[in-house]
Amino acid sequence: MSEIILEACGLHKTYLSGERRLGVLRDVSLSVEDGESVSIRGESGSGKSTLLHLLAGLDAPDSGRVAWAGRPDTGAVRRARFLGMVFQSFYLIPELDALANVLMAARVAGPVGAEERRRARDLLARVGLDQRSHHLPAQLSGGERQRVAVARALMNSPRLILADEPTGNLDEKTGDSIINLLLGLCTEQGIALVLVTHNASHAARTARTLFMHDGKLQTLQTP
């Protein structure tokens, strides 16, 4: 029986807008098994990114709970060791080259030595950037920047990857290559993946597809 690697129960989240409270998430529950791939689709403003931030421990729900591998500890150090994140906007540090950006994930988790540097170089080679490791983000294309972000997400051998619209800033061909890379590496290494995407064809490639509507999560109904 597979282990539940990610579990969210009864998540509620509201934000203050002027004098009104807007409900973004309403009683959202989700579980993801070890090595499973899950995609979440939904219209803009439906709460997809808010949900991902709660799952990552980057924000706290008004009520409900999130657990990683059965433990409620979602602090920064455990986050760095347990999961990797890939964002739409890359979030690379512009003053650091590709190798140093990948190594930033290791620095959050603990000391960086020769083994960590070797792994970072190996990961850049795996994503096809072994010849670009000393280039700054400004010297890389959008697709190359996202490949650096994927390598960074894998740096600490995570059990879970959370990807928030990772192809949103890329053209269709480049976006397809990033999804191929992300799904391929997660499958190869047995890493669970939660993918937030507006792209139906990308979502269809995951083992399970969910749909976010009006702050609620539901199984996507297929015709």
What single DSSP character describes residue 215? T
d(CA 131, CA 18): 50
Going 197 to 198 to 204 to 210, the CA torsion angle's sign is: positive
| Coil, helix or strand at residue 26 | strand
CATH number of the structural domain spanning residue 159? 3.40.50.300
Distance from C-alpha of 196 to C-alpha of 210, rounded to nearest angstrom? 10
Cα R_g (the chain), whole angstroms: 17
Q: What is the distance of C-alpha 140 from the center of its chain?
A: 21
Residue 114 covered by a domain:
yes
Would 19 be classed as within a structural domain?
Answer: no
Residue 108 has pLDDT above 50, yes or no: yes
pLDDT in tens, 10-22: 999 998 877 888 8
Q: What is the pLDDT of residue 189?
A: 93
Expressed as residue numbers, the domain containing 96 is 36-58+72-219
- At 221, the pLDDT band (50, 70, 90 cuts) reads low
Structural domain contains residue 22: no
Domains held by the chain: number: 1
Q: Is residue 8 part of a domain?
A: no
Better-scored residue on pLDDT, 76 or 193: 193
190, two tokens = 């047995």
For residues 203 and 130, what is the distance between their CA atoms, to the nearest angstrom? 29
Residue 223: band (very low, low, confident or very high) from pLDDT cuts 50, 70, 90:
very low
pLDDT band, residue 218 (cuts 50/70/90): confident
Q: Tell me the per-residue pLDDT of 118-165, one tens digit each, with 9 for 90 and over.
A: 999 999 999 999 999 999 999 999 999 999 999 999 999 999 999 999
Q: Answer whether residue 99 is part of any domain.
A: yes
Residue 178 tokens read as 């990033």
Average pLDDT across the chain, whole number = 93
